[in-house]
Amino acid sequence: MTAISPAARELPDVNEMYVVHRVFRREFTALPALIRAVAAGDTARGAVVAEHLTLVLDGLHMHHTGEDEVLWPLLQVRAAPSTALVETMQHQHGVVESRTEAIREHEAAWTQDPTPAGGERLAHLVEDLASALFEHLELEEREILPLVTCHIAVDEWRKLFEHGKDTMTPRQLPLMFGAVLEDADPDERARMLGQFPIPIALFLRTVGAWQYRRYIRRVRAA
């Protein structure tokens, strides 16, 4: 498939990617301090922070597997001069996944016994992940999204959203979507909610929004 002039067709809404990336930048920046603030032996608070860490890691994994399954294969074929860039994206996903697995392994032990030393180690692992991830997100926004505009159709782009929606559990959906909408402006909120059937969008605006507010207050409690 050759590139079609963006002026000649409907364009995918690549701004959605910035909105989603905003969540990962915000939460992975905040999580190390939340982890370090857990007092020695406070398993109740440790469980709250660990649950949030798991949610954000699961959201990131879901986001990246969608790109692995939907986006990279299409760009490998259609954006031939940029295949090395796509390969860089795939390599960076591998680095992020490796650091994610290291976090998950250490998180399990820390949740059972939240010591200051264990918390410091976990916080460092999250910071290492954030360093690799933020580099990846910046490159993706700068180099990949222009390729998406040229080479990816709207219905193909929408498959990324469908992958995420279908992968999340019923508990995760309002929490992850609440996180996505937290810093969204009114136009971004309307466009993101507009991708759902009306009953689900109504749920996310009302009950789901309440669930997220209650959840995130507990996570960010001093």
Digit-by-digit pLDDT tens for the chain (222 residues) are 444 444 456 889 999 999 999 999 999 999 999 999 999 999 999 999 999 999 999 999 999 999 999 999 999 999 888 889 999 999 999 999 999 999 999 999 999 999 999 999 999 999 999 999 999 999 999 999 999 999 999 999 999 888 888 888 889 999 999 999 999 999 999 999 998 999 999 999 999 999 999 999 999 996
Number of structural domains in the chain: 1
Residue 183 lies in a domain: no
Is residue 209 in some structural domain? no
Copy the structure tokens of residue 11.
Answer: 């364009």
Please tell me the distance from the alpha carbon of residue 9 to that of residue 28, in angstroms, as a whole number.
37
User: Where residue 55 sits, what CATH number does that domain have?
Assistant: 1.20.120.520
Coil, strand or helix: which one is 24?
helix
* pTM: predicted TM-score of the whole model, two decimal places: 0.92
Angle at 111 between CA 49 and CA 120, to 5 degrees: 75
DSSP 114-140: --HHHHHHHHHHHHHHHHHHHHHHHHI
Structural domain span for residue 37:
13-168
Residue 205, in any domain of the structure: no
SS3 annotation, 134-164? HHHHHHHHHHHHHHHHHHCCHHHHHHHHHHH
- The answer as to whether 123 is a domain residue is yes
On whether residue 85 sits in a domain, the answer given is yes
Residue 220 lies in a domain: no
